[in-house]
Chains A and B, each alone.
Chain A
Amino acid sequence: MKLLNITRCFFLILSTGVIVLSGCENRLDLAPITNLTDATFYRTAEDAKAALGACYGTINNPDVFHDLVASDDAIPFLTGDAARPLVWRYDITPETNYIRFYSGAYTSINRCNIVISRLPDIDMDDQLRARYIAEAKFLRALAYLNLVRFYGGVPIVTEPTESAENLEVARSSAEEVYALIEADLQEAELILPPKYTGGDVGRATSNAAKALMARMYLFRAGTEAGSPFWQQTVQKTREVIEEGSFGLYDTFAEAFALTARGGLENIFEIQYLTDVKGHGQGRGYGVRGAPIYPGGGAGIARPTASLYNLYTEADQRREVTFITSYTFNGQTTNLSITDPNPANAISFQKLWDRTAQTNGGEGTSHPIIRFSDMLLMYAEAQNEVNGGPDASAYDALNRVRTRAGLDPVDGLDYQAFKEAVWLERRLEFPFENIRWFDLVRTGRLIEAVRAENSFNRNALIQPFHVLLPIPQADMDNNPLLEQNPGYQQ
């Protein structure tokens, strides 16, 4: 009897278990607990904001490393990773590391494409929707502008990637890419406000769209004397300068202080928050091993003497751009531009946020287009348009010079003025991803790289190096791609 009870009991428990558990194959349909999926997303205005936020989270701004060492501004840390000096020596193949702009740009582009394609189906305020889409188009144009300047014509992708289908896209011509950039920026210019307030400060504005168009036109004008792009550059820079939302701080140092975030000078910038979301560029390019940086300086690259020595004593930009000594625990270390030991090297400090207390937690804004770039672009283009500097060109150049503590210039001819602007650009923009493009567009890259030969650089630069190679992984994965000349095997 007892046995029977036990047996019954056992069956009862077991069958209950089986009933509970069987027929529950839908229990296998698990979705992530911590993250949303696209099945439930893209429904509300908040979703739209977050989707656009992802684009701001990946604003395509190339690592300054390439701009610094592939030009004549800096020398990489030599006794480390062999791949870094390869960029500096122009021993570049499609597999060279540290040139990762290509994939980074498309990550940004895909996220912008999602916003552009998904937002029309979201139930939200029409004006806000139009603005969000215009912001996404601005950010997409920014990414394509970097791509086309680095690689020439690249695949044009304007739809979001949602499956494994149609991932192989052939390269378009540079003209076609520029046409897309221009169209995107024109839409952004029309729709976006000139400036924001409060929590929106830092979003793309009509001024930013104009400024980016100016940058594109200037690059396209190249070395061609009668190019219509000079005039277009003049027009777009003038519009920004005259609109009045942006201007210059009184001192150069203010432009890179924490307080410059969303301020007067950065027409477009990537914002950071100290110790919450930082960029780490101060530590990364800081004095190697120096304990003044949380985690110690990494010394990725150090400035060349040819750059450092260009600054005159009066130039306030020198002490903002470079660190020449530091004090830690009461002990002062003086740095040198020639000492081969990177622990004693004068280093960059333009974006260094001294208030950061976590490794890489530096919160200064990373400028993408500053107002001084408007002035110098205007001066250069106006000089080209008129075959020599007029008063407005001088005024633009001298606004930048006097703010840096230098005397205004005057009485220059066309060529001298052009070179004065180029020099000013070099002094004004180190560490801002401008120098290499300037050298390329003005046709001076090879000469400048060969001239900067300290630390036995012996660069293997060739004319084809004005374009970067399409990364080998993409060549492998996309049979439709053709490699840039000079890099084929």
Chain B
Amino acid sequence: MKLAVFLTLITVLQASADSFGQVITLNVRNLPLPEAMERIQQQSGYLFFLKGEALANMRVSANIRQATLQQAMTSLTRDLGLDWVIRDKTIILRRSNRDKEPAFNPADPFQERIVTGRVTDDAGAPLEGATVTVKGANIATTTDAQGNYQIKLPDGASALVFTIVGYESQEQSIGNQSAIHVSLTASISDIDEVVVVGYGTMKRGDLTGAVSSVRESEIRATPIVALDRAMQGRVAGVNVTTNSARPGGTTTVRIRGTGSVNAGNEPLYVIDGFPTGNLNSINVNDIESMEVLKDASATAIYGSRGSNGVILVTTRRGRAGKSVVSYDGYYGQQSVRRKIPLLNARQFAEFVNEANVNNGAAPYFDGSAADRPLPETLGKGTDWQDAIMRDAPIQDHQLGVLGGSEKSRYAISLGYYGQEGIILRSDFNRYSLRANLDSDVSDRLKVGLSAQAAYTHGNAAETESGRNTSSDNLIPATLNYSPTLPIFNEDGSYNTYTGPLNGLGADNPYAMANEYTNQSSLIRVLSNAYAELEIIDGLKLRSTIGADLLANKASSYTSKLVLAGASLGGRASVASAQTINWLNENTLTYDKQFGDRHSLNAMIGYTYQQSDYETATANANNFNDDFALYHNLGSGSTLVAPSSSANEWRLISYIARINYGFDDRFLFTLTGRRDGSSRFGPNNKFGFFPSGALAWKLKNESWLRDVNALSDAKLRVSYGLSGNQEISNYQYVAGLSSIDYVLGGQLYIGNAPGIIPNPDLRWEKNAQFDVGLDLGFFGNRLSFTGDYYHKTTSDLLFSVGVPTSSGFGTMLQNIGKVENQGIELALNADLVGRGNFKWTSSFNITFNKNKVLALDKRQEFRTGSDAVISNTGLNPILLRVGEPLSNFYGYEMDGIFQTEAEVAASAQPAAKPGDIRYVDQNGDNVINDEDRAIIGNANPTSFGGWNNTFGYKGFDLNVFIQGVFGNEILNYGTFDQLNMTGGNNLSIRALDRWTPDNPSNAIPRANASGGSRILSSFQVEDGSYIRFKTITLGYTFPTAWFHKLSISQLRIYVSGQNLFTITDYTGYDPEVNRFGNSSISQGIDYGVYPSAKTFLFGLNLKF
């Protein structure tokens, strides 16, 4: 088993005596070699060094009396097939196989050349006890508490090798240097790694729940704006979808499927202990690790907010030791990943003529007027996508310093992230400042602070707008506007056209890109201070108090040069909002080992969180001039009524957890949280969320201890309850809505209840069972984690349909049940770790199945009315018991009518050959609402990622592939781009339309009077994709080159994002979720900002 040999065992013992007794006596029988050597060391004063597990496991027998060291060693090693030498007061044992050793002269062992240096981790903290070996010569030393070492070099020594348990070994060439500093990176799959869990930390090996980590290196591997993206493809069970590629856009994150219908489905984010949101204003570069809590055992400690999973974010903190200054930055260029291929001017003109003729009218492009030339005289025309898109820079810079003394430590960073969008006048910028301070006031008392201030601002292009029409959403306008039209008129003004080629009422896209201003900014301070007192050994009281303060401002102006602004004489709006969210947490933790076999960690706590929100909006229309934008509402001659509102919520919680370990074989965790929320009815304000888990460290059983190939084995089982409170405030009480009315020519405000009150409103309950297996092989060079989970969400916070004769359509009740079950597999492998070439690989995949078990009284109903796009009143989503959530519901397309006879025999007597044929599901010979069926589903059946890192000498290459499989996308864009009317531009696929000569069965005929927005499988597409998300090539310079500049690390890299995507999807990007904020209307694409591919160059520098 060659891999087993990778486990390099290095044993170095310190010299223990000043004077050497050169006379050795050793009488042993079948003693391990290291122990025998230890006795020799005690007598001789020489250190010894042996390399490799095989040597360490050798056993020796000897009967040596009053011998010299020389005689004793020869006698001892002779039968073992070993050689020995003395080098630098160290006895080195090795196999008698000199052929493999590079030449060095044993006759001349003492060279006076000395190299010194310092070994640190990648954050700059000193590493004590690291082994420094001269390559090829068995000379070694270890680092002291400050990470410093000193080593004498033999002649011909070419390189030093640095190793320490838990870190990747590193080789540095020596050259002429007298000082060599290195920083080592933590190695993957170390069971001793400490992970953050709710209200505490744990060794990974002691976890009983399903917790995945995203490491700093993974977070940094890809240029991302916010931390939620870092989980994509890297954490089993977590599906991350970017809703739109808009700078500053948001994502949809689903951990182990969708559990809730009307309440929120996004996980809870806890940043340095503060449960909060708004991720775009958190600087990703400050993050040291993210832990994803998935099963109930892990999340129950977050009680009413745990059911969608919890993501714990830890930012970097200072460490004692020399200060480390670091700079990390990149600069790159983004360009559109894919343009949607559309008809050019000539193709479009030909199409319009055909559509008119098919409708019994004359060709439109007949050469009769300047704007109606014959098609053959037209060329490509205007490419409106090119007109509004650009190549745009993206950059990120981070300057950090961390360090401190034994007593107080600090980490301070400054960050800037700037992204211009690939659409004109869209951008996002973030400036951030972070200071994390820790101080040991005394041996027993620690205090500290995590504080971040951030300012973000950006301008949004008019994509994903509320009404989704071609006149207010730039993307449909761009795709729909006729290529035969110019950008500008001859007088330089924007061309605006409202004729028959613009049936969807699009505005000039270039004007829309330039004349809408939509600025938003956020000032945020997130700070959390703690004090931790060790009352007696093992008993710690920790108290935190913190606040998350947000001030938003959103300002927009629509100039008079675009349709939407022209008819209003310019439209300005200013809105501001502030959120004050504060938190106090107090925990008491007792951690103690009883005897050899019992370990206990118990925690109780009390927390209080409160959030107050206020907002105000003012609008004005009709400006003499566009000059002032939204900065002078008073100059608008039409003032629109202002508005304001406010709300607040509070949460009071009591928490408790016991971890008990027996004999390092069995681990038990019991967790409970009692949460009280202001959102629920007086009858059910409080909820209790317990969980229990058991882990069995199989590896520590005697019957597995000797299976060398298996280095770790643990079985986990957990069950527990968590909750969901993500509904609007005040839903249990019959708040009165304001209803304005006019009488006598005056405006008055009336009041009526807005909802049916529900004093019984309570938590949504999530019961989850999880069984998991963690395995490690060959010293954890290969590790595997597999989990099966079964989640049942019941008491759904559900907008239950009620008879509308009550005066209300819905009422929030706790009704219904949804189930998710699935399997998560994660595999990490250190495939090649020897020599100059290295390859590590990690792979994960998740299979999830979602099913509605119960609804309100109904077995099924249509919903999704929040996903309305231009001129549709569709309810595209079907909820049906026994089926998964997010089903698309509509007609099933059954090809295209080819002949009159087919039409006559069908349920669509008004159709013509070339029209879409729909399946008559109930066979009643009429196509109507009753013939709709499930035509797709937005949930993927599986998703995963594969990450590969290759290293060769100083080079590193990272290839990260991510994919989603088995989901469908409802491409509403097809309503426009394949409506076949000629009233707007069409997809290039329209060239394959049905004609008598081209009996297509996929694309219908051109027909100027068609275009009805009938939802059918024609709009549904496969959303599966595999994407090469990131490819990065880096080079780390040998520190030798820079040692005079005291640079400890310098790495440069080039990286490409989204370079290749394998998909059949015809829209901008298969990773899309137009209505991502809606729990119900998932997987829909319309008018979404196109995605970019990015090339960038980066630099990591450490002093």
Which A residues fall within an 8 A CB radius of B? 2-3, 6-7, 10-11, 13-14, 17-18, 21-22, 24-25, 27-39, 41, 47, 49-58, 77-85, 91, 93-98, 102-103, 106-107, 109-111, 113-114, 154-155, 157, 160-164, 167-169, 196, 198-203, 261-262, 271-273, 275-277, 288-296, 340-343, 357-359, 455-456, 458, 471, 473-474, 476-479, 481, 489
Contacts and interface: CB of A to CB of B under 8 A. Distances in A.
Interface string B997-1017: 000000000001111111100
Given A50-B750, A341-B499, A27 B652 contact: yes
Given A28-B685, A162-B734, A479-B857, A79 B1011 contact: yes
Given A47-B751, A54-B750, A103-B809, A343 B804 contact: no
A8 to B, nearest CB: 11
Given A30-B730, A32-B733, A50 B805 contact: no
B296 to A, nearest CB: 24
Contact of B648 (A33, A52, A106): A33
Contact of A111 (B442, B738, B807, B1010): B807
A49 B746 CA distance: 14
A84 B1014 CA distance: 11
Contact of B736 (A37, A77, A196, A458): A37
B871 A28 contact: no
A50 B738 CA distance: 9
B42 to A, nearest CB: 42
Interface centre among B361, B543, B564, B735 (most CB of A within 10 A): B735
Contacts of B683: none
What 5 A-B pairs are tightest by C-beta distance, nearest first?
A: A110-B807, A53-B750, A80-B871, A57-B739, A54-B752
Interface in B1044-1072: none
A294 B567 contact: yes
B159 interface: no
A460 to B, nearest CB: 8
Interface string B630-647: 000000011011001111
Nearest to A166: B806
19 contacts: A6-B445, A31-B735, A35-B736, A41-B736, A54-B752, A55-B750, A56-B750, A82-B1014, A94-B929, A103-B804, A110-B806, A157-B805, A199-B746, A271-B744, A357-B622, A358-B568, A358-B638, A471-B804, A476-B861
B676 A289 contact: no
Contacts of B807: 106-107, 109-111, 113, 157, 160-161
B442 A53 contact: no
Contacts of A277: 740-742, 747
B758 interface: yes
Contact of A163 (B740, B748, B757): B757
Contacts of B502: 289, 343
A275 B571 CA distance: 13
Contacts, number: 331
B752 A111 contact: yes
B545 A17 contact: yes
B355 to A, nearest CB: 11
A275 B622 CA distance: 12
Contacts of A110: 752, 806-808
A114 B929 contact: no
Given A31-B730, A201-B743, A51 B805 contact: no
B688 interface: no
Contacts of B981: 79
B471 interface: yes
Contacts of B399: none
B543 A17 contact: yes
Nearest to A24: B652
A167 B806 contact: yes
Nearest to B502: A289
A107 B1011 CA distance: 35
B733 A37 contact: yes
A38 to B, nearest CB: 4
A38 B1014 CA distance: 44
Contacts of B738: 35
A358 B445 contact: no
Contacts of A85: 1012
B948 interface: no
Contact of A32 (B586, B729, B741): B729
Contacts of B983: 79
Given A14-B543, A32-B730, A93-B929, 7 more contacts: A28-B652, A34-B646, A39-B733, A82-B1013, A110-B808, A163-B757, A343-B502
A13 to B, nearest CB: 8
A262 B742 CA distance: 11
A379 B189 CA distance: 92
A82 B740 contact: no
B541 interface: yes
A111 B752 CA distance: 7
Of B610, B647, B806, B861, which is in contact with the most chain A CB atoms at under 10 Å from its CB?
A: B806
A82 B1012 contact: yes
Contact of B801 (A81, A458, A477): A477
B753 interface: yes
Interface residues of A, dominant DSSP: loop
A50 B531 contact: no
A106 B1011 CA distance: 35
A324 to B, nearest CB: 17
B801 A476 contact: yes
B444 A7 contact: yes
Interface string B819-862: 00000000000000000000000000000000000001110011
B745 A261 contact: yes
B748 A271 contact: no
Contacts of A37: 733-736
A340 B730 CA distance: 50
Given A37-B735, A289-B505, A296-B567, A155 B638 contact: no
Contact of B621 (A358, A474, A489): A358
A38 B445 contact: no
B805 A10 contact: no
B274 to A, nearest CB: 17
Given A97-B873, A109-B807, A162 B928 contact: no
B261 to A, nearest CB: 16
B805 A7 contact: no
Contact of A202 (B533, B567, B744, B1010): B744
A342 B645 CA distance: 40
Given A262-B745, A291-B567, A51 B752 contact: yes
B801 A14 contact: no
Contact of A114 (B471, B752, B1012): B752
Given A202-B742, A479-B857, A18 B806 contact: no
B658 interface: no
B737 A35 contact: yes
A296 B813 contact: no
A82 B870 CA distance: 12
A198 B730 contact: no
A340 to B, nearest CB: 7
Given A10-B531, A37-B734, A114 B803 contact: no
A53 B749 contact: yes
Contacts of B858: 476-477
A109 B930 CA distance: 31
Nearest to A270: B742
A46 to B, nearest CB: 10
A152 to B, nearest CB: 14
B740 A456 contact: no
A30 B801 contact: no
Given A14-B586, A341-B499, A262 B744 contact: yes
B749 A357 contact: no
B566 interface: yes
A330 B505 CA distance: 21
B418 interface: no
A482 B954 CA distance: 78
Contacts of A34: 644-647
A220 B961 CA distance: 72
B157 interface: no
